[in-house]
Homo-oligomer: A and B are copies of this chain.
Amino acid sequence: MAYLTSSPIDVPAMLLDARSSDGALCLFVGVVRDENEGRRTTAIQYEAYGPMAESEMARIADGLAREYPAVKIGMKHRVGLLSVGDASVAIAAVSPHRADAFAACRAAIDRVKTTVPIWKKEFHPDGSS
């Protein structure tokens, strides 16, 4: 599976992954916002160490599959230049019950933000970054 994409993330498509035994879907979407630490943001450039980011996301998916065997996880992270309102990352977790759908989704985004080699460069209204 390719976890990284330079195209817009098709978030609604990530809703379609439920099995007939799934009663709960938890979706997290990270969105570029217009402000960070008090400074206005106009855009963010996401840069990845591509092959390592792919394998780290696969490792996170494998770990979650062991910890939450009932949960099926889908993950996408976008790279390139994104505008305010664009989805930078989306994680969908489906499960028969909601407790582990929430827990696995939350664990996934926390780990993605901690260990996947992706970096952000913010651009400000005055053109600085």
Residues on A facing B (Cβ under 8 Å): 11-12, 15, 18, 20-35, 84-85, 96, 98, 101-102, 105-106, 109
Alpha-carbon distance between A23 and B88 when the two chains are bound, in angstroms: 9
Identify whether the interface residues of A are mostly helix, strand, loop, or mixed.
mixed
Structural contact, A33 and B96, CB atoms closer than 8 A: yes
Is the beta-carbon distance between A23 and B27 smaller than 8 angstroms?
no
| Inter-subunit contact B27/A27 (CB<8 Å) | yes
Which residues in B have their C-beta under 8 angstroms from that of A24? Answer: 28-31
Given contacts A12-B15, A20-B33, A21-B33, contact A28 B109 (CB under 8 A): no
A9 to B99, alpha carbons, bound, how many Å?
22
Residues of B within 8 Å of A102, CB to CB, are 28, 102, 105-106
When the two chains form the complex, which single residue of B18, B21, B22, B26 contacts A28, counting CB atoms closer than 8 Å?
B26
By beta carbon, the residue of chain B nearest A36 is B23
Known: A18-B85, A30-B98, A102-B106. 7 other contacts (CB 8 A): A15-B29, A21-B33, A23-B32, A23-B33, A24-B31, A26-B27, A28-B102
